[in-house]
Amino acid sequence: MEKNQRFTITSALPYTNGPIHIGHLAGAYLPADIYARYKRLCENDVAFICGSDEHGVAISIKARQEGTSVKSIIDKYHNLIKETFEQFGISFDNYSRTSNLIHHETSKKFFKKLDQDNCFEIKTTQQLYDKSENQFLADRYVMGECPKCDHENAYGDQCENCGATLSPNDLINPKSKLSGSKPVLKETKHWYLPLGNYEKFLTKWILEGKRGIWKPNVYGQVKSWLEQGLESRAISRDLDWGIPIPRDDAKGKVMYVWFDAPIGYISSTKEWAEKENKNWEDYWKKPDTKLIHFIGKDNIVFHCIIFPSILKAHGEFILPENVPANEFLNLEGRKISTSNNWAIWLDEYLKDFKNMQDSLRYTLTVNSPENKDNDFTWKDFQSRNNNELVAIFGNFINRVFVLTEKYFDNIIPKYDELDSNQIIKIYDYVSLISGSLDKFKFRDAVNHLIDLARTGNKYLADKEPWKRHKENNIKEVEQIIYTSLETCALLSILSEPFIPSSAKKIRDILDINLVNWTRLKSSGKIIQPGHKIKKSYLIFRKIEDDEVEKQLKKLNSNIKS
C-alpha cells in the first residue's frame, strides 16, 4: 500500500459518435475509477484524467448519417457521456474534450517540436480516393473484405471480427462508405512517424523492463508487434475535421486522431491544473510520477508503442509505468456490436434500474475481462446482485443494524473485553484487498470484499447474539454487536472504490466519515462505544425475474440483422 506518491491515471478518451455501453465501462473506466479511488484513499496525489475524443472519421460519418453538423454531434454525445460517467460515480478529476482550444494548442505545440527535431518523414503515396465525392478516403470511410479472416465488412483500419489492424489498401474489394463506389488510387502527401527508429528503445523499455510487471496479454501483444518489425505510421490525414497540421505546406491536412487523442491526456491535465492551481508538469514530467493508462485491448498498440514513441521523440515526458489493458466483454455469448445494436447502453440502464449503479459496477468488476474475454449475461447480473450483494453483503449489514436497534436502541454498545481474534481477522482484509488492487487484480479484490461480509455473517451465526440475549448474557451480546458494527464500518470504507454510493449509505447510517486506508489498523477502531447510529434501511434490492426477461426481450428485439 503506497502513500505520498504522485499518480497520473488516464482512461481512454471515448469517441463522441454515440453513447457508451457496458463494454466501455468494464474495459477502461470502472477499473480506472476503482484504482484512482483506492490511491486517493492511500493518501496519494492523484490526477484522474479523461475527456471526449471529438476528432476522427467516425464522428464525421455519424454527422453525415444524421444529416447534421459535426459540432451538434460532439456536443450531444459529449454531454451524454459526461453525465453518464457522473451518474456511475466515475470520479475523474478532469473530463475535458479535444475540441477545446487548450487541446488544439497543446497538440500543435507537440507537432512543431517533433517537426523541428526532424522526427517526421514526408512521403507521397497512393491512397484511396472517391471520385464521385471528390475526396480522399480516411480509413473508416473504406470497407471491404478482411485479408486475414475473410469478414466482408472490415474497416480500412481494423477488422472488428478478428481484431486485425489493417490499412485501406489491405482490403479485398474495397468500397467507399460515402458513395458505395469502388475507390481509385491517387497521390497525396503525408507526415509519418518512423516507428522503426524507436524499436530499440521500445524493446529495452518494455520487453526487458516490463516482463513480469505488465499483464501477460499486454506484454504479449507488444512483443508480437516488435517481433514483426515496426513500420512508419502516417500522423496526418486528408480531412476537413480535426486539428490542422501547423505547416504552410500542409493545407487540407489534419492530425490523425491517434496522434492528437493521447495528447488529450496532457491537455486535460493542463486544464485541471489551472483550475486547481497546480503545476501540470509535475504530473507529466517528474520522474517520480507514476503514469498509468487504462484501456481496452484494441488500444494497446497506441498506448504501448505509438504514444510512448511520440513522448520519447519529444524528450521531456515520462513514460507509462503500467498499461493494465483489459480484454473484451461479450454480451450473452456474442461480441458487443454497436452497429448491430447488440449492447447494453449505460444511459438506458440508468433509466431501467434507477439508483442501481453499484449493482452493475459490482457485477462488471467481479466478472472483469482482466486476462481474457469474458461474458456478461442478464441472468448472471441478477444472480450476482441477489446472491452476493443482497444475500451476503446487504444481509449482514441489515442484520447488524436491526440487532443494534433491537438490543441497544441504536447506541453502539460498550464492551468489557474486545473480541481481538475476530478484529484481527477482519482487518487482514485491508492488506488482502489493497494487495490485489496494487497488482490491478480487481476481481480478486472485490471477491475479498465479499469474503469479508461472509466472515461477518459467519461470526453472527457462530456467536448467536439473539440466543445469548435470551440467556441474559448482555456482556457477550455487547462484544458481538460491537465487533459486528466494526465489521460494517470496515466494509463501508473498503467498499468505497467498488460501490461508492452504497458505501456512503452505510457510513451515513453509521454516522461516520470516510477513513484513509493507511489508518486502518486493528489497534485503532473506526467506531466508538456510546455513539448513536441512524435508523437503517435496506442498501440493496433484489432484481426480479420479470426485470431480466424484459431486458432480454429488449436486447433481442433491438438487434439489427
Q: What is the pLDDT of residues 368-414, one digit of tens each?
A: 999 999 999 999 999 999 999 999 999 999 999 999 999 999 999 99
Per-residue pLDDT tens digits for 498-534: 999 999 999 999 999 999 999 999 887 999 999 999 9
- Cα–Cα distance for residue pair 196/202, rounded to 1 Å: 10
Domain ranges, ordered by start, for the chain = 6-111+258-346, 119-238, 379-519
pLDDT for 334-376, tens place per residue?
999 988 899 999 999 999 999 999 999 999 999 999 999 999 9
What are the CA-CA distances from residue 138 to residues 71, 143, 310, 410 (Å)? 19, 11, 22, 66
Percentage above 90 pLDDT, the chain: 87
Least confident of 65-69, 82-86, 433-437, 461-465: 65-69
pLDDT single digits (tens) 283-295 = 999 999 999 999 9
According to CATH, the topology of domain 119-238 is Methionyl-trna Synthetase; domain 2 (2.170.220)
Q: Indicate the pLDDT class of residue 56, thresholds 50, 70 and 90.
A: confident
Let me know how long the chain is. 561
Task: Return the pLDDT at 561.
Answer: 46
CA distances from 231 to 151, 164, 165, 192, 315 (A): 25, 16, 13, 10, 21
| Residue where the block lists cell 516488435 | 226
- SS3 state of residue 443: helix
The per-residue pLDDT for range 14-34, each reduced to its tens digit, is 999 999 999 999 999 999 999
pLDDT at 189 over 70: yes
Assign domain 379-519 one CATH number from 1.10.730.10, 3.60.70.12, 3.30.565.10, 1.20.910.10.
1.10.730.10
Please say if the pLDDT value at position 82 is more than 70.
Answer: yes
Is the pLDDT confidence value at 13 over 60? yes
Residue range 6-111+258-346 forms a domain whose CATH class is alpha beta
Distance CA 132, CA 143 (A): 17
Rounded Cα distance between 320 and 300, Å, is 12
Q: Judge contact between 279 and 13, C-beta under 8 A.
A: no
Global confidence as pTM: 0.94
